[in-house]
Structure 1
Amino acid sequence: MRHCLLLALPLALFSPSFLAAQKQDPKALELLEHARQMTLATAKGLPAYKLEASFETFDEKGVSDGVGTLVQTALPDGHRRQTVTYRGRTLDSMWFNTVHRVADKEYEETLVLRSMLNALTNTLPSQAELLKRNVQIGTENSGLKMDCAVVSIPPHDEGKKHSATQRHEFCMDATNGMLRMVVVQGGGLVLNRFRKLGSAYVPGDVQITQDGVKRAGLTVNHFATDPTLTVADFELARTNGKADTSRIIVDTDTVLEKTQPTYPPSAVWSSQRGTVAMKAIIGTDGLVKDVNVVSSPSALLADSASEAVRQWRYEPYLVDSEPIEVEASVSVNYAIGR
């Protein structure tokens, strides 16, 4: 039996690049780490809490294409549960040592939606990710008093491939240190109206724009301690005594080996850019058995993305200790650097 697995990649973009030495500024690293420790996902010693939010997403023309709600609860021992309802379909996630997610068959998670939801808990790169990236002090001309850190992957040039993740500029409040803005080519993420619980700061308002168009907006309606929560509140829905595996969603850390897509030179010269959406069949051994392109800005980018994904190797997904074959939705976004 094949199961559907939705793999939500963060806003990581692939762009042409050139030789450059890896550089890391200690002050920039300190800014990022301080901001990370203030996020809901990382803050220590938090009491049991409940967070409720409502959100809306928009298409590339700024027209509403979906509304939803989010409910997140957590216990001091590390149990955390998040229930997202979007376009009438539900995704239920539970974290405790491992991640287990169950969703309706028709639930669809876009890159914009995932980026918006991540902004509530933590959208900053991990320390492990930063080890392989350039990290430098940046400047932001928004008129607000912020300290910014620019994060990018050092270009790889072995005479064969050119690939790199797009430059991200993370801007922190110069007074309190929490993340206020993420700037990427053509758009970004803005966080406002922060709410504080213990040592954690949560944005009460999240806005995402791309190419001058609003793509998503989220408002936190409730965020407070909830002493009534117990471990029983963190059991996912079950069918016949087993977790419902009709649609299983896991994080990108299940990719053990990832080949970076190559940006075709002719696609760069002709300014071809955008997102390639694919369906990949992952075998019980974790190898990609097949890739089907769902949509792409061009045939060149479709070939580049699918060729790379075919070489990926995943950690086999287990149900009742047995590996199962799954279908993954993978999106790769191409952008031409400036």
Structure 2
Amino acid sequence: MPRNEDIDSSSPDLRKENFGKVALDCIMLDQKITKIPFPPLGLFPTYCFDTDKTILRLSYDFGSQVIVRNAIGIFQARNVATDVTVKESNQIQAAARISKLETTASMPLPAIDPTALAPIDKSATGVAPGVMAGHKLAGSNPIYPVAARMRHISGTVTFVAIIGTDGRIHSLRIVSAPDPDLAIAALAAVRTWTYTPYLLNGEPVEVTTQIRVNFNFS
């Protein structure tokens, strides 16, 4: 589900979409970006539901990651996805299926007392882009979209990113982009980037920073 920051900085955009023979109501959390008045579906966090229902069927994240809930079952009066597919750039990366939904006669007691757990500080530490760039470990390089090259479009895509204590990107928000194709290409690359955890007083902390991806004809 979206982070509070993504919800607060966006406006819901309802679109009626057909996926094969299935009609869905899709809500995309639009963000204002100059030069992109009508962003393509999935550029921002997107959630698609069965028409006039609250059953989540598809969700888009980071531009090209799609989670498809192919089948829905009922368990204890709740809707549960029983067949799930995860796609990256339209290629299936993972799939899972639940064969049976049932309760057990008894449940073991939790090994940890929930009341004894200390609350986690969820506030992110602001870090300059140049500093975090030096922490980058790995990730895909952006691929210049052919359509953008043919139209002679170049420029910089800028994100606000939240990087977790595990060094992975937990949230990406587009701040500016010269073109939707460049924005999607930048998203596809940046979401794979990993970093060495940022340390504050010797402890890894969640950070917020800017990431810039340049597309030039050189």
Q: Would the alpha carbon gap of residues 172 and 220 (structure 1) be closer, same or farther in structure 2, given more than 3 Å must change? A: same
Q: 1:278 aligns with which of 195, 199, 203?
A: 195
User: Is the 8 Å Cα contact of residues 138 and 169 (structure 1) preserved in structure 2?
Assistant: no
Contact 2:25-2:52 at 8 Å conserved across structures: no
The secondary structure found in structure 2 opposite 1:202 is strand
Match of 2:7 in 1: 130
**Secondary structure of 1:206's partner?**
strand
Residue 199 (1) aligns with residue 116 (2): no
The answer on whether the counterparts of 2:2 and 2:45 sit within 8 Å (CA) in structure 1 is: no
Q: Is the contact made by 1:146 and 1:173 (CA closer than 8 Å) also made in structure 2?
A: yes
Q: Does 1:256 align with 2:124?
A: yes
| CA-to-aligned-CA distance 1:294-322 (integer Å, 9 cap, x gap) | xxxxxxxxxxxxxxx8x649xxxxxxxxx
5+ residue gaps, structure 2: 35-41, 131-153, 158-176
Give the AA of the match of 1:256.
A
Residues 287 and 312, structure 1, Cα contact 8 Å, conserved in 2: no
Deviation per residue, 1:13-32 (Å, 9 max, x gap): xxxxxxxxxxxxxxxxxxxx
Aligned-residue offset at 1:138: 1.2
The TM-score normalised by the length of structure 1 is 0.35
**Following the alignment from structure 2 to structure 1, what is the Cα–Cα distance between the partners of residues 33 and 128?**
11
Percent of aligned positions that are identical: 14
Paired position in structure 1 for 2:58: 181
Q: Distance in 2 between matches of 1:257 and 1:134?
A: 25
Find the aligned partners of 1:178 and 1:152 in 2 and give their Cα distance. Answer: 21
Answer whether contact 2:156 2:212 (CA < 8 A) is retained: no
Q: Distance in 2 between matches of 1:127 and 1:166?
A: 18
How many residues get paired? 149
Higher relative contact order, chain-length normalized (CA < 8 Å, sep 6+): 1
Q: Output one character per residue of 1:145-185: Cα deviation in whole Å (capped at 9) or x when no partner.
A: 221211134459xxxxxxxx941331101254200112453
Q: Deviations over 1:48-74 (max 9, x none)?
A: xxxxxxxxxxxxxxxxxxxxxxxxxxx
CA distance in 2, matches of 1:132, 1:171: 20
For residues 65 and 201 of structure 2, what CA distance do their matches in structure 1 show? 39
Seen in structure 2, the aligned counterparts of structure 1 residues 266 and 151 have a Cα distance that, compared at 3 Å, is closer
In 2, Cα distance between equivalents of 1:226 and 1:148? 36
CA distance in 1, matches of 2:92, 2:46: 19
Rounded Cα–Cα distance in structure 2 between residues aligned with 1:260 and 1:175: 44
**Where in structure 2 are the equivalents of 1:289-328 lying within 5 Å?**
312=208
Give the alignment of 1:9-24 within 5 angstroms: none
Structure 1: unaligned runs, 5 residues or longer: 1-123, 157-164, 237-242, 244-249, 289-308, 314-331
Say if 1:169 and 1:182, in contact at 8 Å, map to a contact too: yes
Q: Which amino acid in the other structure matches residue 141 of structure 1?
A: N
Amino acid at match of 1:137: L
Distance 1:256 1:172, change over 3 A: same
Q: Name the amino acid aligned to 1:196.
A: I
Task: Tell me how large the CA RMSD over aligned residues is.
Answer: 4.4
Which of 220, 235, 240 is the matching residue for 2:111? 235
Displacement of 1:144 = 0.7
Distance 1:211 1:128, change over 3 A: closer
Query: Does the CA contact (< 8 Å) of 2:16 and 2:23 recur in 1?
Result: no
**Among 94, 97, 113, which residue is 1:219 paired with?**
97
SS at match of 2:195: strand
Distance in 2, matches of 1:206 and 1:186, equals 16
Residues 1:168 and 2:45 are matched in the alignment: yes
**Contact 1:194–1:204 (Cα < 8 Å) also in 2:** yes
* Residue from 117, 121, 144 that aligns with 2:22: 144
